[in-house]
Amino acid sequence: MTTENDITQLSDLFFTDNHGKVYRVLLDKLERPLISRVLVLTGGNQLKAASVLGINRNTLRAKIKRLGINV
């Protein structure tokens, strides 16, 4: 079983190994699956998905295109 201390050590290692690029690394790992899942949950409705995500619909469309997400 993973303890809180193990999680702390793993996160510290991640931050150390990715110094100066933590935001970009996490965004790259999370953005595509997050947007894909929200689109599924909203039945592909981009206006609703943008609302759920708290971003503008045009921003969402740009991200969908950049990430190559099929809608």
Dump the DSSP string for 4-56.
HHHHHHHHHHHHHHTTT-HHHHHHHHHHHHHHHHHHHHTTT-HHHHHHHHTS-
The answer to whether residue 59 is domain-embedded is yes
| Distance (Å, whole) CA 66 – CA 61 | 9
The answer to whether residue 38 is domain-embedded is yes
Q: What is the CATH number of the domain that holds 53?
A: 1.10.10.60
- pLDDT digits over 24-49, tens only? 999 999 999 999 999 999 999 999 99
Neighbours of 68 (CB within 10 A): 7
Residue range(s) defining the domain that contains residue 55: 22-71
Q: How confident is the model at residue 1 (pLDDT cuts 50, 70, 90)?
A: low
The answer to whether residue 4 is domain-embedded is no
pTM equals: 0.78
